[in-house]
């Protein structure tokens, strides 16, 4: 009887996984990009804090990570960063994180110790697995090289090793300056560009399905999804699901599973409702 119960539990877990990760790309690796919004030093520091949060989350789940590109802030932190996260369902989990993340705290950079609110944008892309999946016409690309402004030693700083690729039909831009050679940066930028093009195609497909159903279509980017309040009280709250916790230190140290689970279940409920 115990073996039968274990088999039932295993079947239920597999069924639940299929429901939560129903997207065609959910099992794939992911590329996470974090960009500072307006706010100067406060925003670039928040971007670096979010990077650490996601790296710690990945470490908890034994996912492998690699910094693909980063642009440092003028004083501290990061203006933007792209990180590859490799492991089964990396994209399925992390797609719940895309949108604007809001931080409220007493700024350590304000001499008068005033409260500041700042934002950073998180984008999550599924990694492209083969060349056929996203075909790019070389004639539709503009490739610019420039001198890296990031860390990397004398070679990076003295040569035009950084690469920026613009897809002319869509205006989508991808760049890389983290590697020492121009060829490596070009390969990394192309990987990011293809992931952005794939994500755009997925968004267009979702928008068309919503239009045919008569549903209201919201922009995928630029929505405030979560607030991290460190003053005057301690609270992290997701505005899509209502899930919240007062353990702000734990969340910023990578304890995101509760938020991800709540959003995955919300999305699965929407899919079930649409199917009905």
Per-residue pLDDT of the chain (276 residues; tens, 9 = 90+): 555 444 444 444 555 677 789 778 999 999 999 999 978 899 999 999 999 999 999 999 999 999 999 999 989 999 999 999 999 999 999 999 999 999 999 998 887 888 999 999 999 999 987 766 788 999 999 999 998 765 544 444 556 889 999 999 999 999 999 888 999 999 999 999 999 999 999 888 877 766 765 654 444 444 689 999 999 999 999 999 999 999 999 999 999 999 999 999 999 887 655 554
Report the alpha-carbon distance of residue 241 to residue 267 in Å, rounded: 10
Residue 272: its pLDDT value, please? Answer: 54
Report the alpha-carbon distance of residue 172 to residue 106 in Å, rounded: 36
Residue 103: its pLDDT value, please? Answer: 95
Report the alpha-carbon distance of residue 264 to residue 268 in Å, rounded: 6
Residue 51: its pLDDT value, please? Answer: 98
Q: Which residue has the tokens 């070009």?
A: 186
Phi, psi of 103 (to 5 degrees): -115, 130
Question: Crossing angle of helices 2-20/257-275, nearest 10°?
Answer: 80
Dihedral angle, C-alpha 186, 192, 49, 119, nearest 10 °: 120
Residue 184: its pLDDT value, please? Answer: 94
Rounded to a whole number of angstroms, the distance between the first and last alpha carbons of the chain is 35
Give Cα separations from 78 to 16, 41, 58, 120, 264 (angstroms). Answer: 38, 9, 19, 11, 29
Residue 4: its pLDDT value, please? Answer: 47
Q: Which residue ranges make up each domain of the chain?
A: 2-275
245 bridge partner residues? 236
List the one residue out of 196, 121, 124, 184 whose CA is nearest residue 148: 184
Assign a CATH topology to domain 2-275: Alpha-Beta Plaits (3.30.70)
Residue 273: its pLDDT value, please? Answer: 56
């Amino acid at each position: 009887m115990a073996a039968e119960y274990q088999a039932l539990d295993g079947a239920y877990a597999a069924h639940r996984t299929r429901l939560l990760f129903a997207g065609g790309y959910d099992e794939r690796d992911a590329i996470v990009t974090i960009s500072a919004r307006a706010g100067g030093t406060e925003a670039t520091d928040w971007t670096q804090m979010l990077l650490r949060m996601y790296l710690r989350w990945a470490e908890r789940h034994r996912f492998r990570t690699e910094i693909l590109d980063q642009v440092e802030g003028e004083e501290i932190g990061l203006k933007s960063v792209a990180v590859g996260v490799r492991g089964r369902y990396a994209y399925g989990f992390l797609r719940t994180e895309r949108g604007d993340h809001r931080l409220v705290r007493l700024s350590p950079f304000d001499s008068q110790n005033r409260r500041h609110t700042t934002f950073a944008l998180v984008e999550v892309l599924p990694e492209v697995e083969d060349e056929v999946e996203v075909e790019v016409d070389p004639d539709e690309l503009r490739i610019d090289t420039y001198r890296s402004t990031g860390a990397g030693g004398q070679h990076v700083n003295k040569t035009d090793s950084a690469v920026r690729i613009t897809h002319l039909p869509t205006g989508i831009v991808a760049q890389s300056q983290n590697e020492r050679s121009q060829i490596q940066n070009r390969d990394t930028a192309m990987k990011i560009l293809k992931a952005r093009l794939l994500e755009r195609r997925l968004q267009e497909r979702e928008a068309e399905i919503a239009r045919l159903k008569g549903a209201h279509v919201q922009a995928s980017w630029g929505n405030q999804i979560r607030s991290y309040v460190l003053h005057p009280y301690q609270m992290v709250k997701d505005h899509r699901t209502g899930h919240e916790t007062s353990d702000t230190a734990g969340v910023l140290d990578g304890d995101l599973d509760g938020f991800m689970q709540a959003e995955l279940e919300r999305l699965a409920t929407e899919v079930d409702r649409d199917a009905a």
